[in-house]
Amino acid sequence: MRYTLLVAALAATTAAATPAFAQAVTDTAQATARGVVLQQHSLINNGALDFGIVTVDPATSGTVVIDSSAAGTRSATGGVTLLPSPSQAARFDGLAAPNETVALTLTPPVGNVLQDASATNTITVNSMSVDAAGLTRTADSNGNFTVYVGGDFGLAANQASGVYSGTFTLTAEYQ
């Protein structure tokens, strides 16, 4: 019996002294990598606002108006007479992300005037406006949008002859 106890004790000691091997566990997980790529945003002037050639009665002031539309219809009041000549609304073409909202700001020329080359004679800019789509619009499914700008210009009686111009700004904020 002594021999049996010794073998049993020896076996128990060997079992207790043998370290247990840890089983290797491997876990994996997946994640999605993503990002958004937008087209380049742009706003390009593709046509100047031009009220054409007009004359003004020496005794009566008046206005010339260019409608803010693709047609850019021209009309006159008071002593202004429209002469046959090209005229048009300004045209701006924009590029945004598809279906993106665009907020527009229209800023008239400094002092609300157009000046002749000598900067001594002026024409009053009574108002300027964008087309019927308004100052907030949504780009189409390709990201395109177009804006037309028209204006109402006041000419004095006996307005001095000359080529009058002024710079206005259309700003697009992409949202």
Give me the tens of pLDDT residue by residue for the chain, a chain 175 residues long: 444 444 444 455 555 555 566 678 888 899 989 876 666 899 999 999 999 999 999 999 999 999 999 999 999 999 999 999 999 999 999 999 999 999 999 999 999 999 999 999 999 999 999 999 999 999 999 999 999 999 999 999 999 999 999 999 999 999 9
Question: What is the reported pTM?
Answer: 0.79
- CA pseudo-torsion sign 60, 66, 67, 68: negative
CB 115 within 8 A of CB 166: yes
Q: Phi-psi bin for 76: left (phi > 0), alpha (psi -120 to 50), beta? A: beta
Q: Domain-by-domain residue ranges, the chain?
A: 42-165
Residue 75 neighbours by CB under 8 Å, 6+ apart: 64, 65, 67, 82
Between the CA atoms of 75, 77, 82 and 88, what dihedral angle is there, to the nearest 10 degrees? -30
